[in-house]
């Protein structure tokens, strides 16, 4: 996929946590889990979500109840990089209006 996938994962986790978390810590944990943050694949992300997401959240001092945790996993695994995110649409629209 691309670094864009990692960027989306990071943003979704931060939104779910309600604050900014360690981007580098997430990058390292995905790498240690066998994923490549610069070229993240859905299978690598699934492994991370199923086995390492709770570890990352715990290391960052974030506790999510079961329902928000499921919502976060669904948002992470449901991301399709073939389609723009609302943030990307807004940025493109703003840039177009500014020029």
Write down the pLDDT at residue 86: 79
Q: For the segment 48-73, what is each residue's pLDDT rounded down to a tens digit?
A: 999 999 999 999 999 999 999 999 99
Task: Using alpha carbons, select from 35, 40, 48, 57 the residue that is nearest to residue 1.
Answer: 40
Name the pTM for this structure. 0.82
The structure tokens listed for 82 are: 């073939």
- 84: pLDDT strictly greater than 60: yes
Write down the pLDDT at residue 14: 96
CA dihedral 78, 79, 80, 86 (to 10 degrees): 130
Is residue 48 within 8 Å of 35, Cβ to Cβ?
A: yes
Is residue 45 within 8 Å of 5, Cβ to Cβ?
A: yes
State how many domains the chain has.
Answer: 1
Q: For the segment 10-25, what is each residue's pLDDT rounded down to a tens digit?
A: 999 999 999 999 999 9
CA angle (66 as vertex; 31, 17 as ends), nearest 5? 55
Kindly report the average pLDDT of the chain as a whole number. Answer: 89
Rounded-to-integer distance, Cα 68 and Cα 17, Å = 9
């Amino acid at each position: 996929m691309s670094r864009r996938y990692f960027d989306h994962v990071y943003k979704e986790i931060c939104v779910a946590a309600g604050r900014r978390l360690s981007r580098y810590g997430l990058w390292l944990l995905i790498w240690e889990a066998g994923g490549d943050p610069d070229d993240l694949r859905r299978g690598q992300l699934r492994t991370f979500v199923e086995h390492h997401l709770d570890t990352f959240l715990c290391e960052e001092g974030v506790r999510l109840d079961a329902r928000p945790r499921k919502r976060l996993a669904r948002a992470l695994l449901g991301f399709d990089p073939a389609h723009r995110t609302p943030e990307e649409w807004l940025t493109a629209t703003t840039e177009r209006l500014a020029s």
